[in-house]
Structure formats: structure tokens, C-alpha cells
Amino acid sequence: MKTILIKIFAGLSLTLLMVILALPSLLHKAGLHPEYTGQKYTISSGKKALVIGTNHGILNAPGETTGDPTGIQISELSHPYYTFLDAGMSVDVGSINGGEIPIDPQTLSRMIISPLDKRYLDDPSLQAKMRNSIPIGDIDFSQYDTVFLAGGWGAAYDLGYSVELGSKISEAYYSEKTIIGGVCHGVLGLIKALDKNGGLLIAGRNMTGVTDKQITELGITLTPMHPESELRKAGVIFESKTAFRDIFATHVTVDLEQRFVTGQNQNSGLEAAHKILELLANQ
């Protein structure tokens, strides 16, 4: 009997080990971090991209000062950054206050890390840019061909509250050349941008961001802003895709004017960045 129990335990342990080893591949096949299979573009030298991240690194309820570590979802920065860089653009990294852009440690875990995230881990140049990001107050957004707002839970605490970021987005929009992108919680950085009449710049535009459904499914509702809710409040025509769990869904939206490219969640930054390159190539 003891021998049988040992064999059963060994068999179950081996099965569990095989499942654990296969889990990253299984999650990928289910829809996490899909590969980009569309046309790729090379952009002429001299084009510039700016990627903006959060400075907030604590997952806390409003009014609290402690909580689990958070920050950007690393793929929401690494995917656009390397897509723009590999297309021939120079890429700067900024944040609301400048300095460190914290990374949500869970997004570097073995289960969900992507190839471009691993590239970041071996890239001292991008690591330095994220430790010493440029304060948005020191940046002229209108000098960039694209400005991309990365997400992650941290962005719920600062991007949507920054009047200065809203003003910078407006300046970029009225430069009449800059394509403005964002993904997941990063799109919160668009809600304070105003048009020349003082109205909300994004009102009436087709956009996407992380869904209320995904936030509820993940059980992280304590953040002070939720992208779907805030975009709808701002008058956006909200689009999204769904799945049995929205963490496996993905969607990218381009507004009718082709000035705003937004991605639904952590799966959408890669496609959103490539769509921006397509628009730049056709300018």
C-alpha cells in the first residue's frame, strides 16, 4: 500500500511540474501577449517617439500610504519602446515627475513575461532611462512624432490627475503631426486634454482601455480611476473585446481622424505601436 501511495504521489508531482513548466505557453496560447503578425514598417531616421510611464509604485486605496508594490505593466512600456526603436526611431522615456518609473514585479514573473520584457532585463540603456525618466515639464511633446502612454496599475494614481499632462497632450495634438497612443490604464492620461474651445479633446472619439470587467475579474478595484469608466465619462465612444476572462482579450482602436491609437490591455500595446508606425509611414 505504501509503495502504491508513493507512486501516486510521484505521478501527481510529475504532472504538476509539467503543468507549471507548460503554463507560460498555455497562457500565451490563451491570448496573453499575442505575437504581432501584421506588416512591419521602417521609419525614416530623425523620427522621435516619447513613451510616458507612471511614478506611482504602491497599490493602495485612496488615503492609504502602504500596499503591495506596483507600477507600470512592463510589457506596456517595453513593447512600444522596442517597436519604435527597431523601426528606426529615437525613443525617450518620461513620467509626470521624472526619475524612477517603478515596475510591477508581478509583470516580470516567469508565467507572464514576454520576449521584449526579457530584452529589457538585458538592456542597460532602457533601464537607465526608466531610473532617470524625463519630467514632462521639461518635454516639448509637439517635437515628437508619437507620444505613447504606458499603463499598469500605477497609472491609475497619477496620469489621469495631471493637468500638466493633459495640457501637453493638447499641445501635441495641435502640432498636427503627433500621433498619440496609449494602452490599458495609460489612456487615463488623455482625460484632461482640452480642445481650443475648452471642451474635452477626446469626447466623441472611438477609444479603448482596460475594461471594468477585467478589473473586477482581477479583484483590484481599489485604484482611484478605472479607464473604461473614465473614458465613458469623458464622452468617448468606448470599444473593447471580451473573453472568458478579459485578461486574454485584446483590441486596438484608431479614431476616425487617425490621431489617437489606443489599446485595450496588456495584450494590446504591441499591435497599437505597430499601428502607429503604419500611420507614420503613410503621413
Which residue in 277, 268, 283 sits closest to 36, CA to CA? 268
Q: Are residue 141 and residue 16 in the same domain, yes or no?
A: no
Q: Residue 191 to residues 54, 164, 225, 226: CA-CA distances in angstroms?
A: 15, 12, 11, 12
Q: Are residue 25 and residue 47 in the same domain, yes or no?
A: no
Q: Are residue 57 and residue 117 in the same domain, yes or no?
A: yes
Q: Are residue 18 and residue 80 in the same domain, yes or no?
A: no
Say if 15 falls within a structural domain.
Answer: yes
Q: Are residue 88 and residue 190 in the same domain, yes or no?
A: yes
Q: How far apart are CA 111 and CA 107, in angstroms?
A: 9
Q: Are residue 186 and residue 135 in the same domain, yes or no?
A: yes
For 17, the grid coordinates are: 511540474
Q: Are residue 78 and residue 10 in the same domain, yes or no?
A: no
Residue 21 has what pLDDT?
A: 47
List per-residue pLDDT tens for the chain, 283 residues long: 556 545 455 444 444 444 444 567 778 888 899 999 999 999 977 999 999 999 999 999 988 989 999 999 999 999 999 999 999 999 999 999 999 999 999 999 988 999 999 999 999 999 999 999 999 999 999 999 999 999 999 999 999 999 999 999 999 999 989 999 999 999 999 999 999 999 999 999 999 999 999 999 999 999 999 999 999 999 999 999 999 999 999 999 999 999 999 999 999 999 999 999 999 999 8
Q: Are residue 7 and residue 85 in the same domain, yes or no?
A: no
Say if 36 falls within a structural domain.
Answer: no
Q: Are residue 10 and residue 135 in the same domain, yes or no?
A: no
Per the structure, the complete domain to which residue 2 belongs is given by 1-30
Q: How far apart are CA 189 and CA 210, in angstroms?
A: 13
Say if 35 falls within a structural domain.
Answer: no
Say if 247 falls within a structural domain.
Answer: yes
Can you say whether the dihedral through the CA atoms of 213, 214, 216, 222 is positive or negative?
Answer: negative
Q: Are residue 22 and residue 48 in the same domain, yes or no?
A: no
Say if 21 falls within a structural domain.
Answer: yes
Start-to-end CA distance of the chain, whole Å, equals 75
Q: How many structural domains does the chain have? A: 2
Say if 274 falls within a structural domain.
Answer: yes
Quickly list DSSP for the chain: -HHHHHHHHHHHHHHHHHHHHHHHHHHHHHTSSPPP-S---PPPTT-EEEEEE----EE--TT----EE--B-HHHHHHHHHHHHHTT-EEEEEESS-B---B-GGGGSTTT--HHHHHHHT-HHHHHHHHTBEEGGG--GGG-SEEEE--STTHHHHGGG-HHHHHHHHHHHHTTS-EEEEEGGGGGGGTT-B-TTSSBTTTT-EE----HHHHHHHT---SS--HHHHHHHTT-EE-----SSGGG---EEE-TTS-EEEE-STTTHHHHHHHHHHHHHT-
Say if 231 falls within a structural domain.
Answer: yes
Residue 3 has what pLDDT?
A: 61
Q: Are residue 62 and residue 7 in the same domain, yes or no?
A: no
Q: Are residue 19 and residue 97 in the same domain, yes or no?
A: no
